[in-house]
Amino acid sequence: MIPTSHYLFLSLGLFTVGVIGVVTRRNVIIILMSIELMLNAVNINLVAFSRLVGSAEGHVFAIFIITDAAAEAAVGLGIIIAFFRNRETLLGDEMDLLKW
């Protein structure tokens, strides 16, 4: 039997890798992918606790998170396409139109 804390550690590892991707990479698509990784890590946590207490509510919250991830990916990639059309770049640190 695998203790629930091992699932927590796995989720923690995936989440940390996602945070590292978000704060170190320049490519916006990789940043979006890292956000997907972080959302995924949270899902593992929810399902592990759902298994621990034997109720399906964690699964329901995981489904909501997957819905949010789909919406976020659609809007985020739409923004990336619009941005690429205007500035011809994919680098996050060149998105500085609000800076002066």
Q: Which of residues 56-85 bind other proteins (CB under 8 A)?
A: 56-57, 59-60, 62-64, 66-75, 77-82, 84
* Segment 87-95 long-range contacts (CB within 8 Å, at least 24 positions apart): 90/27, 90/28, 90/29, 91/26, 91/27, 91/28, 92/25, 92/26, 92/27, 92/28, 92/31, 93/26, 95/28
- Smaller CB distance to other proteins: residue 3 or 97? 3
Rounded to the nearest 10 degrees, what angle do helices 28-53 and 57-87 cross at? 180
* Contact status: 95 vs other proteins (CB under 8 A): no
Site string for other proteins, 39-58 (x = CB under 8 A): -x--xx--xx-xxxxxxxx-
- Smaller CB distance to other proteins: residue 2 or 98? 2
Site for other proteins in 7-36 (CB under 8 A): 7-10, 12-21, 23-27, 29-30, 32-34, 36
* Contact status: 4 vs other proteins (CB under 8 A): yes
